[in-house]
């Protein structure tokens, strides 16, 4: 074989081998590209799933916080309305006519005041002294009346070792404590 033929053979074999290497490299690049595209797809899908989970969680947290704020606002408004109702009721009781004031308190005190109580003095609001005298007379209590600026209504019976607070404010506070839940139910029925 001639030198030219050997060179041609080497060139031909080299080109064939180079083409095989290029084909193999292109095949490997294609496989790597497919694997990379699959991994990118998996990462995107994972990211989208994670993003969706985080978005839903954030939405749920935000919705829950807004519901809590709304419930707090509703409860605050209910408390304000309930306070207003009791305040108006107390004002109505304090503004009773003389005859109703005497009648209601006398009846209430008869049921509350212990029998044979040793009263030294009775505190009375300044603007209700005549009514207070009538109540004491009806109860059979002969202790002197003492004007008290702290009282808006009712009486406080004072003994040598006790103070029996039957002021309207005190009675109203006790009534409110025992009836507030029931009144709230009636006021705020759904």
- Tens-digit pLDDT profile for residues 50-102: 888 888 889 999 999 999 999 999 889 888 988 898 899 889 988 999 999 99
| φ and ψ of 157, to 5 deg | -90, 125
Which tokens in the block code for residue 64? 């829950």
User: Residue 38 pLDDT > 80, yes or no?
Assistant: yes
- pLDDT band of 47, cuts 50, 70, 90: confident
User: How far is the C-alpha of 61 from the C-alpha of 92, rounded, in Å?
Assistant: 46
pTM to 2 decimals?
Answer: 0.62
Candidates 116, 92, 115, 96; CA nearest to 105 is: 96
Strands 121-124, 145-147: pairing kind: parallel
Overall average pLDDT of the 145-173 stretch: 92
The answer on pLDDT for 181 being more than 90 is no
Residues 6+ apart with CB under 8 A from 93: 104, 153, 168, 172
* Section 149-159 average pLDDT: 93
The helix or strand, by DSSP H or E, that contains position 58, with its residue range, turns out to be: helix 3-94
């Amino acid at each position: 074989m001639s030198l030219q033929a050997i060179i041609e053979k080497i060139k031909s074999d080299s080109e064939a081998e180079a083409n095989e290497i290029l084909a193999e490299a292109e095949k490997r690049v294609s496989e790597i590209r497919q694997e990379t595209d699959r991994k990118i797809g998996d990462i995107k899908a994972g990211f989208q799933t994670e993003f969706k989970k985080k978005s839903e969680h954030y939405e749920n947290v935000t919705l829950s916080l807004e519901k809590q704020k709304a419930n707090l606002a509703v409860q605050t408004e209910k408390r304000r309305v309930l306070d207003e109702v009791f305040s108006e009721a107390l004002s109505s009781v304090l503004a009773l006519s003389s005859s109703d004031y005497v009648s209601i308190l006398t009846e209430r005190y008869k049921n509350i005041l212990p029998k044979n109580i040793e009263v030294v003095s009775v505190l009375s609001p300044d603007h209700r002294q005549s009514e207070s005298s009538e109540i004491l007379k009806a109860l059979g209590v002969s202790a002197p009346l003492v004007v008290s600026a702290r009282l808006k209504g009712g009486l406080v019976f004072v003994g040598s070792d006790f103070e029996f607070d039957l002021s309207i404010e005190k009675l109203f506070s006790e009534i409110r404590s025992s009836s507030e839940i029931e009144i709230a139910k009636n006021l705020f029925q759904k």
